Structure formats: structure tokens, C-alpha cells
């Protein structure tokens, strides 16, 4: 049975080079406040920092910030999307904060995959903007944009700890730089925690097997944050491998054609857009309905793994609910070590 698992692991992409930029020049590339579009209008950029970023390069950003029309009572949430850099190979992350109290979206584009850090920055910026303190907003943005982080060597020598501290008059803003070497835990990773709570053990195991075999996977939900959490969270299941094919955790209405691609993918689609698709054109897509906690697939990939490995994983997942730290992430890491070698 072990040889069967090794064969299964052979299907996984061998290229494990990360698609993250190693030394970005700035903490973030651009900050935007985007007005919610009315009817079929294009979303309008109200605030942009730095100002010299060309509007043409931001057209895709506005579409991702407002990927579809959603009811006002469902807009109070954080979510994140991915766009590629100018080379078409490296990820840039778009962190968004929308509120049902305002008809705008705050968005930060960065090469750093620091979800909790940037969500906290967005919360602070929202508070400053609502208080009408333009000078404070510009000072915080300027300080963050020009902040000099420790080199990765210095960061690791310091035990993987760095506090980004910004002082504006009498106000002190602090943000924690995450350590990329650490596995996600239920206390530190919102994406991982939400994925576990929304999908549950059985779906996670099936999802793990489909990721190993590089299937086309489509997440569907009425909540943009749930799409973000599950799409990004599932990447932890195949650590230390990196997903090398199409990855769009938030799919705007202008790109629904992507669901028909024949290459492996991980896509996230709002349920209002999913309802407009022709299901006959999707083919053998694995559909994960987050709201209904259901997975639809014509593949039985889990059957290719040894029974004792699956039993061990199920037991580990059940025990993880009683254990703190990164126990759950280690369940899948051990499975990856067994499967890939």
C-alpha cells in the first residue's frame, strides 16, 4: 500500500519554488479607497497612495475589490485576492476591508502574504479615515510604505520576531511580522481556522487528496471572506509544496470564463456568479460548496491512499480539536511526508 501512496505522490507538481517575491522594495505597493459601483459603472478610486501609481495598472484591482454585486448586509468583511506581477509569475496579494456602513472598499496591494498584519492595518486606516484625519492617514501610509524591515537573515537571528512600530503624535500603531517557517495554528491563522470550521474533517481529507492529484477545484460561497479563507487555507494542506497552477481565490464577474480552463486550478466564486454558470461546461470540476458544507466530485482520489494513513489522519484531526498549537497542520505535513517522500 505504501507504494500506491508513493505513486499518488508522483502526480504532484515537482516544482516547489515559491511564487512569492523574495525581497520587495516596500511593505506594500499601493493603498486604495474604492467607491462601490452603481449599476454597471466602473468602481471609482477615491484615494490612492502613492499618487504616482498609474490608474491603468489598477483596473484589475477595482474589479477584484468588487467582484460581484452583493447585498449591503453581507459587505462587512475582510477578504483577499491575488493578481500577478508584471512578469506574470509572482503573486501580489490584495487585502480588502468592506463595511456595510460605508459604500467603499479599502484595499492594500502587497507582495507579502501577511493576512493578519494587513487586516489590522486596514482596520486602523478605516478608523482614521472615518475620523476625517487626512494628515494622520497620510503619515501612517508613508511610514508603512517606507518602513525598512529586517533582512530575512536578521529576522531569523532574532528568533523570527519583529514588531513594526509607527508613532503618529500620541498614537502608537504596532503590527507583528509573521514567521513564514511556522505552521498555521488555530489561534494564529484566521484562514486556516475558518477553513477547518467551515469544511470539517471529511471534506478536508477529500480536498487534500484532490490537491495531491491536482484537480480543478472551485470553492463557492455567499461570503467573500469564506472564499478567501478556504482557498488560502487549503494550501496549508500540501505544505511544503507550493501550488503552481491557476490560483484565484476571488474570481470577478469578468473572469468567470476561467472555470472552463482545462489546467488545474483553485478558484473562489461568489454564489451569485456560480448560479449563472452552465454546469455542463464545467466538466470534471471538484465543487466545494462552503455554505452548504458539501463537496461534489466524480473522483475517488482518497481511495488511492493506504487505509491506515487515512485512519491515522482522521484520528489526528479529531484529536487536534483538543490540542493547541499547530497539531492539525502537522497531521497533513506527516501525510505529505509519507505521500511525497
Poorest-pLDDT segment among 3-12, 14-23, 136-145, 154-163: 3-12
Poorest-pLDDT segment among 42-51, 65-74, 147-156, 271-280: 65-74
Which among 292, 233, 231, 264 is positioned nearest to 67, based on CA atoms? 231
Query: How many angstroms separate the CA atoms of 257 and 213, rounded?
Result: 23
| Structure confidence by residue, pLDDT tens digits, 29-58 | 999 999 988 877 888 899 999 998 887 778
Model confidence at 16, pLDDT cuts 50, 70, 90, reads very low
Cα→Cα distances 275→64, 271, 279, 333, Å: 19, 6, 9, 35
User: Is the bond preceding residue 111 a cis peptide, omega within 30 degrees?
Assistant: no
pTM for this one? 0.90
What is the fold, at CATH topology level, of the domain defined by 2-17+182-340?
A: Rossmann fold (3.40.50)
pLDDT score for 157: 96
Burial class (CB in 10 A: 0-12, 13-18, 19+), 103: middle
198, three cell numbers: 467551515
Q: Domain extents for the chain?
A: 2-17+182-340, 30-112+114-176
The 3-class SS string of the chain reads: CHHHHHHHHCCCCCCCCCCCCCCCCCCCCEEEEEECCCCCCCCEEEEEECCCCCHHHHHHHHHHHCCCCCCHHHCCEEEEEEEECCCCCCEEEEEEEECCCCCEEEEEEECCCCHHHHHHHHHHHHHHHHCCCHHHHHHHHHHHHCCCCCCHHHHHHCCCCCEEEEEECCEEEEEECCCCCCCCCCCCCHHHHHHHHHHHHHHHHHHHHHHHCCCEEEEEECCHHHHHHHHHHHHHHHCCCCCCCEEECCCCHHHHHHHHCCCCEEEEEEHHHHCCCCHHHCCCCEEEECCCCEEECCCCHHHHCCHHHHHHHHHHHHHHCCCCCCHHHHHHHHHHHHHHC
Q: Is the pLDDT of residue 297 over 70?
A: yes
Give me the mean pLDDT over the 221-240 stretch.
Answer: 94
pLDDT score for 73: 61
Q: Is the pLDDT of residue 228 over 50?
A: yes
Question: Right CATH number for 30-112+114-176 from 3.30.559.10, 3.30.70.141, 3.40.50.11540, 3.30.450.200?
Answer: 3.30.450.200
264, three cell numbers: 488545474
User: Is the bond preceding residue 240 a cis peptide, omega within 30 degrees?
Assistant: yes
Q: CB neighbours of 144 closer than 8 A, spacing ≥ 6? A: 27, 28, 121, 164, 166
| 244 φ, ψ (degrees, to nearest 5) | -105, -5
Amino acid at each position: 500500500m505504501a507504494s500506491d501512496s508513493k505513486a499518488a505522490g508522483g502526480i504532484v507538481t515537482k516544482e516547489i519554488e515559491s511564487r512569492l517575491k523574495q525581497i520587495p522594495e516596500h511593505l506594500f505597493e499601493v493603498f486604495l479607497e474604492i467607491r462601490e459601483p452603481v449599476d454597471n459603472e466602473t468602481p471609482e478610486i477615491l484615494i490612492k497612495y502613492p499618487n504616482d501609481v498609474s490608474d491603468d495598472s489598477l483596473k484589475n484591482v477595482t474589479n477584484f475589490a468588487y467582484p460581484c454585486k452583493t447585498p449591503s448586509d453581507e459587505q462587512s468583511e475582510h477578504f483577499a485576492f491575488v493578481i500577478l506581477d508584471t512578469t506574470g509569475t509572482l503573486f501580489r496579494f490584495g487585502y480588502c476591508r468592506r463595511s456595510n456602513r460605508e459604500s467603499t472598499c479599502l484595499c492594500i496591494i502587497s507582495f507579502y502574504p501577511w493576512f493578519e498584519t494587513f487586516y489590522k492595518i486596514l482596520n486602523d486606516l478605516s478608523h482614521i479615515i472615518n475620523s476625517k484625519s487626512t494628515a494622520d492617514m497620510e503619515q501612517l501610509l508613508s511610514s508603512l510604505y517606507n518602513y525598512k524591515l529586517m533582512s530575512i537573515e536578521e529576522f531569523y537571528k532574532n528568533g523570527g520576531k519583529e514588531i513594526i512600530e509607527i508613532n503618529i503624535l500620541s498614537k502608537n500603531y504596532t503590527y507583528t511580522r509573521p514567521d513564514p517557517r511556522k505552521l498555521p495554528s488555530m489561534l494564529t491563522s484566521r484562514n486556516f481556522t475558518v477553513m477547518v470550521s467551515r469544511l470539517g474533517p471529511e471534506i478536508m481529507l477529500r480536498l487534500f487528496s484532490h490537491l495531491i492529484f491536482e484537480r480543478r477545484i472551485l470553492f463557492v460561497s455567499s461570503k467573500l471572506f469564506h472564499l478567501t479563507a478556504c482557498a488560502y487555507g487549503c494550501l496549508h494542506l500540501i505544505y511544503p509544496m507550493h501550488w503552481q497552477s491557476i490560483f484565484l481565490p476571488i474570481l470577478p464577474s469578468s473572469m468567470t470564463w476561467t472555470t472552463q480552463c482545462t489546467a488545474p486550478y483553485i478558484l473562489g466564486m461568489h454564489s451569485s456568479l456560480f448560479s449563472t454558470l452552465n454546469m455542463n461546461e464545467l466538466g470534471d470540476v471538484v465543487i466545494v460548496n462552503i455554505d452548504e458544507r458539501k463537496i461534489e466530485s466524480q473522483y475517488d482520489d482518497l481511495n488511492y491512499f493506504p487505509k491506515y494513513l487515512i485512519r491515522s489522519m482522521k484520528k489526528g484531526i479529531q484529536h487536534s480539536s483538543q490540542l493547541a498549537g499547530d497539531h492539525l497542520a502537522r497531521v497533513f505535513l506527516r501525510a505529505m511526508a509519507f505521500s511525497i517522500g
